Amino acid sequence: MGRFIKHAGIIMDGNGRWAQLRGLPRYEGHKRGVSRVKEIIRAALRLNINVVTFYAFSIENWQRPKNEVDIIMEILQRELKKETPNFISQGVRFRMIGNREMLSSNILKMIEETESATSHCRQIIAQFAISYSGRDEVLRAIKKLFEKNIKADELNEKLFSSFLDTAGIPEPDLIIRTSGEQRLSNFLIWQSAYSEFYFTNTLWPDFTEEEFTEAILDFQKRQRRFGKVSEFTGS
């Protein structure tokens, strides 16, 4: 059934609140959230979804307490090293979108090594937005246009999209946000122009394969018109 959806974006929200509700340090929520990422990738594989983009760490998240940021980066580095062989065996291609200049050299090295090691994988693309901001992505794309001396009359949506971090990736059909918040928070703001949205009160560490499947089924009941007239209602 998943062929109806090529790309799902997920705003993974609620890790810190999940931990605090249990009297645990916030980083325990981030650790628990990692297991959900793995579960959702496996579910997306079974549903034949081509791309899943996880909003892992925004540019705004750099403003969090240094201790929390350091732990998140440590978890990221450790999990990439551990999961790369599993990505390869499952056919998962890992990609990062975001501002790479803001990452430390050791984190960036691990990310690039994982991207290289999984570049031949074709079953699914697991795309992680790290040090990411939709506005920052658009600004960086504009700078690239200037560097290429693209003239105003040459510019169109297709050409502009080719300068984004997501170049070559289909736009998200569905964006899921956990934890009850109902906003994009600077996630794929160009790419989500015609995305459908699914909001759930479930905190990310409790978001299961079953609820992910429920979100996909909910999406499949919707009619996407892309600004055209509905064939059923005439509206």
Residue 234: inside a domain, yes or no? no
Provide the pLDDT for residue 223. 76
Boundaries of domain holding 113: 2-220
Residue 80: inside a domain, yes or no? yes
Residue 230: inside a domain, yes or no? no
Amino acid at 14: G
C-beta separation of 50 from 6 below 8 A: yes
pLDDT tens sequence across 192-223: 999 999 999 999 999 999 999 999 999 998 87
Residue 84: inside a domain, yes or no? yes
Provide the pLDDT for residue 212. 97
Residue 160: inside a domain, yes or no? yes
Among the listed residues 208, 154, 202, the one whose alpha carbon sits nearest the alpha carbon of residue 179: 202
Provide the pLDDT for residue 149. 96
Q: What is the pTM of this model?
A: 0.93
CATH number at residue 207: 3.40.1180.10
Residue 235: inside a domain, yes or no? no
Residue 168: inside a domain, yes or no? yes
Provide the pLDDT for residue 224. 72
Give me the phi and psi of 82, to 5 degrees please.
Answer: -75, -35
Residue identified by tokens 């750099």 is 62
Give me the active site residues, please: 13, 61
Residues 95, 120: Cα–Cα separation, whole Å: 12
Residue identified by tokens 């499952």 is 90
Q: What angle do CA 126, 131, 134 make, to 5 degrees?
A: 85
Provide the pLDDT for residue 2. 46
Residue 233: inside a domain, yes or no? no
pLDDT in tens, the chain (235 residues): 544 899 999 999 999 999 999 999 999 999 999 999 999 999 999 999 999 999 999 999 999 999 999 999 999 999 999 999 999 999 999 999 999 999 999 999 999 999 999 999 999 999 999 999 999 999 999 999 999 999 999 999 999 999 999 999 999 999 999 999 999 999 999 999 999 999 999 999 999 999 999 999 999 988 776 666 555 555 4
pLDDT tens sequence across 129-162: 999 999 999 999 999 999 999 999 999 999 999 9
Provide the pLDDT for residue 4. 80
Looking at the chain, the whole-number percentage of residues with pLDDT higher than 90 is 91
C-alpha distances (whole Å) from 35 to each of 39, 128, 191 are 6, 15, 27
As for how many domains the chain has, the answer is: 1
